[in-house]
Structure 1
Amino acid sequence: MANKMAEKKKSTGRSQTAELKTRGKEKEQPAKSARVATREVRKEQKTESKAAPRREKGSPIVARIRSNRIGRFFLEAYYELRHKVTWPTFEQARNMTIAVIVISVLVGALLAAADFGLYHLFLLIIGGGK
């Protein structure tokens, strides 16, 4: 019996195995398949509504700006900054600013110490010390 199962698994492809698994899940969870079907219908409705031609809004000046390369660049930049960028909260911005200042002071102190040490080493080597 175990040999037959092993042979059946070898002859069955991955896609067939996945199909069998999904069929089993559909029988177990009919509510989920109904939700998935509802989502697909909503997606189709959205794509159909997007397929309608867009009318230009606003004055002819705005339409002229949109057709211009530079104007389109600024409109797209505005859209991206307004709708796609995730801006930090005030507390996050404050904490990041403090971190930058502290790290800058530490790196500055490290470079100053290295400069001071190398300067005095140079003076020792050339014999120009006190």
Structure 2
Amino acid sequence: MANKMAEKKKSTSQSQVAASKSGSEKGAARSARTAPRTSKQEGKSARKGKNTLLGRFRSTRFGGFIYDAYYELRYKVTWPSFQQARNMTIAVLIISGVVGLLLWLVDTGLYYLFIQLIGGGK
């Protein structure tokens, strides 16, 4: 189960590396063809997105955090399938039950030992 998720992450990251290499080659070719922007042009394009309510919200620290959290959950997290989630939930329930039973046994044993030591068992 964990191996499948690791393989999926590997294949995803390898395809992303290949895409970023081809994208960087295209970007280098485009930047060589275009003239550099002046600061006046950059200022206009930078302000364009901030005039909207969403753009202003995203430029705040809190808004940027919310946007980054959404982006990461939507595009970067590898979510388990239904069967994997079900199997992991069953495993957690079984392990919790076993640990709870073990702690109950130890607690009961220590209780009776304490009763014997203080002489309440006469």
TM-score by length of 1: 0.59
Q: CA deviation at 1:58?
A: 9.3
Q: Check 1:40–1:75 CA distance in 2 against 1; reply closer, same or farther (3 A cut).
A: closer
Q: 1:117 aligns with which of 93, 109, 116?
A: 109
Aligned to 1:25: none
Q: 2:76 aligns with which of 84, 105, 125?
A: 84
In structure 1, the gaps of 5 or more residues are 1-38
Aligned to 2:24: 43
Aligned to 1:127: 119
Q: CA deviation at 1:114?
A: 0.1
Q: Check 1:47–1:69 CA distance in 2 against 1; reply closer, same or farther (3 A cut).
A: farther
Aligned residues: 91
Q: Check 1:60–1:48 CA distance in 2 against 1; reply closer, same or farther (3 A cut).
A: farther
TM-score by length of 2: 0.62
Which structure has the bigger radius of gyration?
Answer: 1
In structure 2, the gaps of 5 or more residues are 1-19, 35-41
- Cα RMSD of the aligned pairs, angstroms, is 3.0
Identify the structure with bigger relative contact order (alpha carbons < 8 Å, sequence gap 6+).
2
